[in-house]
């Protein structure tokens, strides 16, 4: 009897399916099944549908437009916070309430980073000033994205054959 997989764990087959969908989110399950078969993975269209349904429960869908040719800008800010108890969490919470559509926390040479889609340099200035005015912020650097290169296979850590 097959064992039930951890609902949050993804395997190589899930990664392959996500890669196919990343290139064309409207790919029919039957075509995904065919592409998997070409890679030596036998799975019916129904099996693919069940996998995709489970993946939708643990992933976010966000189709990022390229910044070139748009009438808005992608703005990224990186933040360092004071080394005091609760500082990072307080800044994270405050930035989450601002107009950023992504706020990330980690460790390394920066503590937090955030991304916003903005219409003007004034909006960038306002966001930078709001972040820098937070008491626990010790440094904030920013950039406006002008181009990007995306490789979904690297993100999904798909094993090379």
Q: What structural domains and CATH numbers belong to the chain?
A: 12-58 (1.10.10), 73-145 (3.30.70.920)
pTM: 0.60
pLDDT digits (tens), the chain, 161 positions: 334 455 567 888 988 888 888 778 789 999 999 999 999 999 999 999 999 888 877 766 555 555 555 566 788 999 999 999 999 999 999 999 999 989 999 889 999 999 998 888 899 999 999 999 999 999 999 998 777 676 666 666 665 55
Kindly report the backbone phi and psi dihedral angles of residue 130, in degrees, each rounded to the nearest multiple of 5, phi listed first: -65, -45
140 forms bridges with which residues in the sheet? Answer: 79
Classify residue 122 as exposed, middle or buried by CB count within 10 Å of its CB (0-12, 13-18, 19+): exposed
* Whole-number pLDDT of residue 1: 35
Q: Report CA 62 to chain centroid distance, whole Å.
A: 8
Distance CA 58, CA 101 (A): 19
3-state SS, one letter per residue, for the chain: CCCCCCCCCCCHHHHHHHHHHHHCCCCCHHHHHHHHHHCCCCCCHHHHHHHHHHHHHHCCCCCCCCCCCCCCEEEEEEEEECCCCCHHHHHHHHHHCCCCCEEEECCCCCCEEEEEEECCHHHHHHHHHHHHCCCCEEEEEEEEECCCCCCHHHHHCCCCC
What residues contact residue 65 under an 8 Å CB cut-off, 6+ apart? none
Encoded tokens for 113: 């980073």
């Amino acid at each position: 009897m097959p064992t039930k997989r951890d609902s949050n764990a993804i395997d190589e087959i899930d990664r392959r399916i996500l890669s196919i969908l990343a290139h064309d989110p409207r790919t029919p399950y039957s075509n995904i099944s065919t592409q998997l078969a070409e890679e030596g993975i036998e799975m019916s269209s129904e099996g693919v549908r069940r996998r995709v349904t489970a993946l939708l429960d643990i992933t976010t869908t966000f189709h990022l437009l390229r910044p070139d040719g748009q009438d808005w800008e992608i703005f990224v800010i990186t933040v360092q916070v004071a080394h005091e108890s609760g500082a990072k969490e307080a800044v994270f919470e405050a930035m989450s309430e601002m107009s950023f559509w992504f706020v990330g926390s980690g460790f390394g040479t920066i503590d937090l980073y955030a991304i916003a889609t903005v219409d003007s340099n004034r909006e960038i200035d306002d966001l930078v000033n709001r972040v820098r005015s937070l008491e626990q912020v010790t440094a904030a650097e920013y950039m406006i994205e002008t181009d990007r290169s995306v490789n979904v296979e690297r993100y999904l850590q798909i094993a090379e054959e």
